Amino acid sequence: MKTIVLFTGFFFSLVGLSAQKAVDYMEQGIKKEKAKDYKGAINDYSNAISKNPKDTKAYTKRGAAKGNLKDYKGAIEDFTMAISINPTDAEAYYNKGIAKGNLNDFQGAIEDYTKAVSINPDYAKAYYNRGIAKTNLRDFRGAIEDYSKAIAIDPTDEEAFNSRGVAKRNINDYKGAIADYTESLSINPNNDKVYYNRGIVRGNIQDYVGAIADYSRAISLDPSNDKAYYNRALAKDEQRDFTGAIADYTKYLSMNSSNANVYFNRGVSRRNINDHKGAIADFTKVISLDPKHAEAYYGRGLSKGAIKDIPGEISDYTMAININPMYVKAYSARGVARRGQNENAGAIEDFTQVIALNPSDAEAFSNRGIARSNLQDYAAAIDDYTQSILLNSSNPKVYYNRASAEWIIQDYAGALADYTQVISINPSNAKAYYWRGHTKIVLKDLAGACMDFTEAVNLGFVEANEPLKQYCNK
């Protein structure tokens, strides 16, 4: 959630003071406060109080000066004294609420703002700040009510619309949030923070084009807004504009060079454009900043695999697993890499671990089946392919692999059924026609075999010409 910063300035109107000397001290204090000499101002306001202990304005001015020095407890004492002298001083309650808010006593602040609006029902800023306090307590619906009251009193309050938009976003009222941000911008079209906030909500509703436009506007108004570059990069990633995303991540990193997550995201974007060396450099930087970042090891492993550094790939997956023993994708990727290195026993261990962590992972059963086939354990492989099909019956590759295993163990009827299933799912699979043709030869269906070899040739599988000549062109 975007942090809402409480008002810390205090503004008061002055009335005439009965004692001339007190007036002099008050005037001196005001001049010093304007010059930001808050300590000097406090000294003058204290002198004024010593001359006129019943002057509420002297207490409130001193409280304001203390607040500007972040002496919020001292400020509260002065506002409390002003209230004891004049219990109907709405401004004193309001400013005491601000001081309490700055001490994170949001419930206490709400009580003071509530007292202020009970004295002055048209006190728009008191409603607004009470909304801020409620937002900080995550009472977003209560905050929306208060912001709405502030807006009803002052329809030109751009910050009230913005803050109400933030509260609406937090209750997933994205349409309402966008409407509020838009209204705020109609009042002040140069508020970069509101464009930024609207960009976030547009991203929430997957309007990435709109989000990018808002982040771009925020950046044009404040080129130092690093978060706008970062969020624009995320939106560009969603639009598959990886090159644009990389540029924005790079800009962010020029402002904040130690953010591991941004290096990670840039690494992913670089991998997506096949810049694997750049991706490896980014993932390596992530690891240097956060040695326990399992995803960075995993991502680096993928890129190492893409450039054929298989030992490095396997090593990175192993590091990811050591950090997070529940990392299913790392086990799966390591299993595939091991199988590619003919380390089928190790691959089977990895795929078995994937299945233990996620028994409904159809791909893990299929992958384990391939490794078992490589070890000529065809019966176990067929069991794995069968389980994979039970979990996902629409993957033609698994039927094809099971058919291949069945063919080897001479279960030709089973192979015929599986090749037929492959073709029903993917009628352009020439190899399935080719091998179904061979299966039909074994099953003495010559006419059917010739039709399959012919179809394989028609689909561009030239190897089918040989059995077509051997069995069919006589």
| Domain boundary assignment for the chain | 1-137, 394-474
Q: What is the CA radius of gyration of the chain?
A: 36
> For residue 9, what pLDDT is reported?
40
Q: How much is the pTM?
A: 0.84
Contact (CB, 8 A) for 407 and 415: yes
Q: How many CA atoms lie within 13 A of 403 on its CB side?
A: 25
Maximal CA-CA distance, the chain:
127
**What is the number of residues in the chain?**
474
- For 1-137, give the CATH class: mainly alpha
CATH topology identical between 1-137 and 394-474 = yes
Distance CA 41, CA 28 (A): 7
pLDDT (tens, 9 = 90+) of the chain, 474 residues, equals: 333 333 334 333 333 434 448 899 999 999 999 999 999 999 999 999 999 999 999 999 999 999 999 999 999 999 999 999 999 999 999 999 999 999 999 999 999 999 999 999 999 999 999 999 999 999 999 999 999 999 999 999 999 999 999 999 999 999 999 999 999 999 999 999 999 999 999 999 999 999 999 999 999 999 999 999 999 999 999 999 999 999 999 999 999 999 999 999 999 999 999 999 999 999 999 999 999 999 999 999 999 999 999 999 999 999 999 999 999 999 999 999 999 999 999 999 999 999 999 999 999 999 999 999 999 999 999 999 999 999 999 999 999 999 999 999 999 999 999 999 999 999 999 999 999 999 999 999 999 999 999 999 999 999 999 999 999 986
The predicted pLDDT at position 14 comes to 35
DSSP result, 328-385: HHHHHHHHHHHHHTT-HHHHHHHHHHHHHH-TT-HHHHHHHHHHHHHTT-HHHHHHHH
Give CATH for domain 394-474.
1.25.40.10
- The tokens describing 280, both together, are 């490896």
Q: 392 — phi, psi (to 5°)?
A: -150, 100
Distance CA 109, CA 101 (A): 6
Dihedrals phi, psi of 99, to nearest 5 degrees = -60, -40
121: DSSP letter: T
Q: What is the DSSP track for 95-135? A: HHHHHHHHTT-HHHHHHHHHHHHHH-TT-HHHHHHHHHHHH
- pLDDT, position 474: 64
Q: What is the dihedral of CA 87, 88, 91, 94, to 10 degrees?
A: 70
